[in-house]
Amino acid sequence: MIARLDEPWDQVTLMRAWLANCASKHSNCRQATVQKLPRRLLDLKPFDDSDDIRLVESKSISLEPKYVTLSHCWGPRAKQPICTTKATLTDRMQRIGHDSLPLTFQDAVRVSRTLEQQYLWIDSLCIIQDDEDDWSEQAAVMGSIYGASYVTLAALSSADSTQGCRVRPRDPSKPTLSRYQDFDFGSRRVRIFEHSPAHWHSEYGDNPYKHDGYGENPLRTRAWTLQERELSLRTISFAQGQLLWQCRTMKGSSQLPWHEMIRSGDDFRPLPLRLKHDEDCSPEGPAAKRDHWYSLVEDYSSRFLTEESDKLPALAGLASKFRQEHSPGSYYAGIWSEHLPSALLWRTLFSYSGGQDKLSNPLAVFQPRRPQTYRTPSWSWASIDGEVSYESQRVDASVDDVFGSEYGNFQITGSYYQLVTKNDLLGTPSDASLRLRGCVSKVSIDMEPIDNYMNDGLLRLTGVDRITLGVLYPDIMIDLQGVRSLFVLSVRSESYNSSTRFPPRLHEQLFDYSKPADWNDLDLRMGLALLPARAGEVFRRVGLVRWMLKDVFDGIDPTLLRLV
């Protein structure tokens, strides 16, 4: 169903007010120095007597242009939008008929003109889609393209280019938006709601506090659009039933233009697990910056790509910005060297997780899987197509992390990283490995899931006498077909205050979980599950190991190994 394009004065006024307020009052939203303009832009006012537009070279514009960017879903191949190719480039530079544009592009043109903007950037028209050099060049500066735009228009609720860049009707499963009445008292206005207004992150599809799923807005499900949102200074999203505003200073909605609703309990966000006891955990400290990258990875991995090979390119703009702002070291296939070894301790999430009967991501179409061709080493989260979590690297915010910050005998001794494109430091590797030193032990797998954790995919790790030694989160189940035993690599101690729910009956015969002292004496271990990749102590990762008994590694000397 196509939404009506109603543009009442209150919507237009609201968009203009948001933009004017942000541009004049938000110091955090000052336009950054443009490092590189997009190579081409759409001129929205080239003809006095027509709504037609045309493609222009940015260098042909005399003054540095102010432009709008569009974030949208391309949709299935049958509904993909009008594109620029080598064969059509000359024609696009002459004229693009308004009627030839899909509805989403027509709406973006109309809104941009309403906001008195002359130039618009749309990826499918401004990048030559069948020119690999042009595509690579523009993809590499995507951060600058969105970061330097005046505002990004996000067709949040539209699944393809035929559905428009507009506020669409609400899905019947979503709560009805509250009605309200405004009252003016001199220079102040009071808005009275019939019932509680909607929460911003629920309307968009965020899950910042890990309480909910990701909603059902189509744009939220696409991997490329994460960096389009995160890199933009300002974004106006056309959601279901209302507009959403986001800039680097505030969030707002049609219901609450200057205020983001935060639910009670949302201030209990988990804290990052320290790399060492004295690590700074303040909001601007290294632990918080590391956790910010982990949150981006979690969000990104929950989204979908049409092309498997785009896994790292679609994140390159965000990675470039993060490197400039935080200096996190070398980049290894989505992992920063300064975040090691913590960054190795991710796990995959299955479509059904958290002990729930509903999909954790309702738009998931497959369980976690590996790409058909080599993309990254097995120790990188980017080796998986599917949602990943760094929950093991967070602790309960209500208590101090007083236990579990020791890495013991584990050490990263070196790395090998060969890029497909030598000069693309944030690109895809052709080969990569980590050299490690640590304690490795062989254990058996019980393929029966642990009680009450069937949906999480937890498997029991046992010894020769069938005593439970710990649990395994498999990366993908197919890796373990026919496997009865594997190797576990101890990485660090488990935290008593982990944000992950501890299986209550796992080691009940050994200690009382209600007594922290008992936990500290037990010294449970967290690490990686490995299988041999080839001869000579070379392994590949197949899962995350948690709550392993320290006894598993008693009498085992640290050994050198290579992880590929």
- Look at residue 158 in the predicted model and tell me its pLDDT: 94
Q: What is the DSSP string of 354-412?
A: TT-SSBSSTT--S--B--SS--S-TTSGGGSBS-EE-GGGEE-TTS---S----TT-EE
| Residues 474/480/483/487 CA torsion (nearest 10 deg) | -40
Give the span between the Cα atoms of 563 and 417, in whole angstroms. Answer: 12
Q: State pTM to two decimals.
A: 0.88
pLDDT digits (tens, 9 = 90+) for 293-330: 999 999 999 899 988 989 998 998 899 889 989 999 99
- Look at residue 262 in the predicted model and tell me its pLDDT: 56
- Look at residue 107 in the predicted model and tell me its pLDDT: 96
Sign of the Cα pseudo-torsion (415, 420, 424, 427, in order):
negative
Over 90: is that where the pLDDT of 563 sits?
Answer: yes
Lowest mean pLDDT among 84-88, 296-300, 301-305, 360-364: 360-364
Lowest mean pLDDT among 348-357, 398-407, 427-436, 501-510: 398-407
Mean pLDDT value across residues 110-138: 94
Neighbour-count burial of 327, counting CB atoms closer than 10 A to its CB (0-12 exposed, 13-18 middle, 19+ buried): exposed
Best CA proximity match to 544, nearest among 406, 390, 403: 390
Whether the CB-CB separation of 179 and 263 falls below 8 Å is answered with: no
Sign of the Cα pseudo-torsion (438, 444, 448, 452, in order):
negative
* CB neighbours of residue 400 within 10 Å: 11
Helix (H) or strand (E) holding 188: strand 188-193
Mean pLDDT value across residues 386-394: 93
- Look at residue 152 in the predicted model and tell me its pLDDT: 97
The count of residues in the chain is 564
Between 465 and 383, the higher pLDDT residue? 383
Mean pLDDT value across residues 447-452: 68
- Look at residue 265 in the predicted model and tell me its pLDDT: 47
Best CA proximity match to 58, nearest among 37, 44, 86, 83: 37
- Look at residue 498 in the predicted model and tell me its pLDDT: 86
pLDDT digits (tens, 9 = 90+) for 207-256: 665 556 677 789 999 999 999 999 999 999 999 989 999 998 999 999 88
pLDDT digits (tens, 9 = 90+) for 490-506: 999 888 888 887 777 78
With pLDDT > 90 as the criterion, what percentage of the chain qualifies?
48
Mean pLDDT value across residues 520-548: 91
Angle at 126 (CA atoms; ends 120, 127), nearest 5 degrees: 150
Between 215 and 199, the higher pLDDT residue? 199
pLDDT digits (tens, 9 = 90+) for 411-425: 999 888 887 665 566
Lowest mean pLDDT among 352-366, 473-487, 538-552: 352-366
- Reported confidence tier of residue 284, pLDDT bands at 50, 70, 90: confident
Tokens found for residue 470: 């710990």
Give the span between the Cα atoms of 552 and 426, in whole angstroms. Answer: 38
- Reported confidence tier of residue 453, pLDDT bands at 50, 70, 90: low
- Reported confidence tier of residue 70, pLDDT bands at 50, 70, 90: very high
pLDDT digits (tens, 9 = 90+) for 142-190: 888 998 999 999 999 999 999 999 988 888 777 888 888 888 888 887 8
pLDDT digits (tens, 9 = 90+) for 422-444: 556 677 788 889 999 999 999 99
Q: Is the peptide bond before 341 cis (omega within 30 degrees of 0)?
A: yes
Q: Angle formed by the axes of helices 316-326 and 224-231, to 10°?
A: 40
Tokens found for residue 201: 């992150």
Neighbour-count burial of 412, counting CB atoms closer than 10 A to its CB (0-12 exposed, 13-18 middle, 19+ buried): middle
Lowest mean pLDDT among 126-140, 213-227, 270-284, 448-462: 448-462
Mean pLDDT value across residues 544-561: 92
Over 50: is that where the pLDDT of 354 sits?
Answer: no
Mean pLDDT value across residues 540-544: 97
- Reported confidence tier of residue 10, pLDDT bands at 50, 70, 90: confident
- Reported confidence tier of residue 78, pLDDT bands at 50, 70, 90: confident
Average pLDDT, the chain: 85
- Reported confidence tier of residue 9, pLDDT bands at 50, 70, 90: very low
Per DSSP, what are the bridge partners of residue 247? 234
- Reported confidence tier of residue 362, pLDDT bands at 50, 70, 90: very low
- Look at residue 35 in the predicted model and tell me its pLDDT: 62
